[in-house]
Amino acid sequence: MKVLGINGSARKDGNTAISMEKVFGDLNKEGIETETIQFSSKIIEPCKACLICGGKVVNKMKKKICIMLSFLLLIIMAGCGSKETEKGTQSTLPKTDGQRKQAINDEQEGSGTENQELSEAGSEAEQEFTMETKTLVVYFSATGTTKPLAEYAADILNADLYEIVPEIPYTEEDLAYYTDGRADQEQSDSSARPAISGNVENMGRYDTIVLGYPIWHGQAPRIISTFLESYDFSGKTIIPFCTSHSSGIGSSADNLHDLCSDSTEWKEGKRFEAAASKEEIEEWLKSM
């Protein structure tokens, strides 16, 4: 089945587009193919009433548009009624409250005549964004360097925080690199999947994951692979960051992409020094 959505709104990224994106995102997660037609991007000329068609084309078009609009209405109503909306409506990093308000204000300024309706829709949308868009900051930190940066990120984004805790803790000996210890051995085996103790409750409610890890031999520790293979990240956005002694993030994040669904959106990652400040983390997150 393929669902066609027609967005008749004059604004490209208005409330209608946001609602459709959310509803279609949910349909895609169910494996349903979707296609969107945005009227604002089409050059539409009125019928010149030449009647070369004898009126047949016009009548046929009217009928088609009525069917499609009814269908669209049904989809939007289903989407609005669904409890699944608890996961929010944005696929990228959530905006700050101020930015959300600004976006809603921008929407309202679009038309003087629609202001009453838009302000109601705007405050509903504002409420929805505030209550429902969820970000989870996930981190693994064997020696405590990555941890404070993850905590900064969670604080800045007002996000939940989850620590990946290995089922078998790493000892100092395990972490002594270039000794062929446990960590060295895991990194040289791409199929190694160290077990994680505990799990994220209700991963479904998060649409953005900020993922922090230390660089181990140029890559993310294998326990990050265990984590990524433990959940369905379809339609979610992952924002990776790392700490290291001196290496950059390199290919460490790119090499994780294959562990997630094709519909997972990966933002470009960044490496931070051990002593990175909260301001640096904030600046980076704002640049997303």
Ligand X SMILES: Cc1cc2nc3c(=O)[nH]c(=O)nc-3n(C[C@H](O)[C@H](O)[C@H](O)COP(=O)(O)O)c2cc1C
Closer residue to ligand X in complex, CB, 17/161: 161
Helices (H) and strands (E) in the chain, counts: 9, 10
Q: Kindly state the smallest distance separating residue 140's Cβ from ligand X, in Å.
A: 7
Q: Kindly state the smallest distance separating residue 135's Cβ from ligand X, in Å.
A: 20
Extract the tokens encoding 100: 């959300």
Extract the tokens encoding 4: 């066609």
Closer residue to ligand X in complex, CB, 21/186: 186
Q: Kindly state the smallest distance separating residue 136's Cβ from ligand X, in Å.
A: 18
CA dihedral 20, 265, 209, 202 (to 10 degrees): 60
Closer residue to ligand X in complex, CB, 3/175: 175
Residue 238's contacts (CB-CB under 8 Å, 6 or more residues apart) are 208, 209, 210, 211, 260, 264, 265, 266, 267
Closer residue to ligand X in complex, CB, 181/235: 181
Closer residue to ligand X in complex, CB, 103/215: 215
Whole-angstrom distance, CA of residue 162 vs CA of residue 218: 23
Q: Kindly state the smallest distance separating residue 219's Cβ from ligand X, in Å.
A: 8
3-state secondary structure (DSSP) of residue 129? helix
Q: Kindly state the smallest distance separating residue 247's Cβ from ligand X, in Å.
A: 3
Closer residue to ligand X in complex, CB, 137/183: 183
Closer residue to ligand X in complex, CB, 108/146: 146
Give the residues across from 7 on adjacent strands: 38
Residue 51's contacts (CB-CB under 8 Å, 6 or more residues apart) are none
Whole-angstrom distance, CA of residue 107 vs CA of residue 129: 15
Instruction: Provide the CA 146 distance to its chain's centre, in angstroms.
Output: 22
Q: Kindly state the smallest distance separating residue 264's Cβ from ligand X, in Å.
A: 24
CB 141 within 8 A of CB 150: yes
Whole-angstrom distance, CA of residue 5 vs CA of residue 26: 14
Q: 10 Å Cβ neighbour count for 258? A: 9
Q: Kindly state the smallest distance separating residue 187's Cβ from ligand X, in Å.
A: 6
Whole-angstrom distance, CA of residue 26 vs CA of residue 229: 21
Residues near ligand X, by CB under 6 A: 141-146, 175, 177, 183-184, 214-218, 243-247, 274
Closer residue to ligand X in complex, CB, 23/242: 242
Q: Kindly state the smallest distance separating residue 170's Cβ from ligand X, in Å.
A: 8
Can you state the angle between helices 115-132 and 15-29, rounded to 10 degrees?
40
| Rg, Å, the chain Cα set | 24
